[in-house]
Chain A
Amino acid sequence: GAVVSQHPSWVICKSGTSVKIECRSLDFQATTMFWYRQFPKQSLMLMATSNEGSKATYEQGVEKDKFLINHASLTLSTLTVTSAHPEDSSFYICSARDAGVGYNEQFFGPGTRLTVL
């Protein structure tokens, strides 16, 4: 089956620093990738939709200048949390849609746990 990887799997950083999370589709091309965030015992919240070669579409309430998304190729999207603060500590999960599959299944990466001190 299709595999999506994320790197790093966990990261601890100081308040005010920026953190970059990579999402890769390993064995398929993903024209569209999605970024989610999940706080403990809360539901997955869609943050943004990332299309290869164009600007990401952010969900209401998500600051685009704080969460920078770059989808430079068909297999890589990155999420940069700029000037991270403790309230940004969360589980960030990316998902990719296989352009070659008819029913638009989304494959999820294993997630990145971010802790901001």
Chain B
Amino acid sequence: GQNIDQPTEMTATEGAIVQINCTYQTSGFNGLFWYQQHAGEAPTFLSYNVLDGLEEKGRFSSFLSRSKGYSYLLLKELQMKDSASYLCAPRPPLVFGKGTRLSVIA
């Protein structure tokens, strides 16, 4: 089974940086995925980490520490359109927790 823990809600200001943390416990590990989901839409892929360290992809970066069962998603230069839920999930099949609902305010 899997246990995934993320903050339920976060609020940040347009143009700022926000870090969304994720801790997980899983039997077997094959990568940590981050997805974004806007209300009423399907999730879209953001990033994938299989080794420890930071993966950077434009305004989004994701960090992984396998020994600590810990990951974070870093969003820079926040835009209003980044208001969404952010879901982390270890290994396929992807089993998601409740995710973090991010609100970006002006």
Contact = CB atoms under 8 A, between A and B. Distances in A.
A91 B37 CA distance: 13
Interface residues of A, number: 20
Interface in B12-40: 30-31, 33, 35, 37, 40
Interface stretch (B44-52, B59-67, B72-80): B44-52
A91 B33 CA distance: 22
B41 A111 contact: yes
Given A103-B50, A104-B31, A105-B48, A44 B92 contact: no
Contacts, number: 49
A103 B37 CA distance: 21
Given A43-B98, A44-B87, A103-B31, A108 B44 contact: yes
A95 B50 contact: no
A1 B90 CA distance: 22
Interface of A: 32, 34, 42-44, 46, 49, 91, 93, 95, 97, 103-111
Interface of B: 30-31, 33, 35, 37, 40-45, 48, 50, 87, 91-99
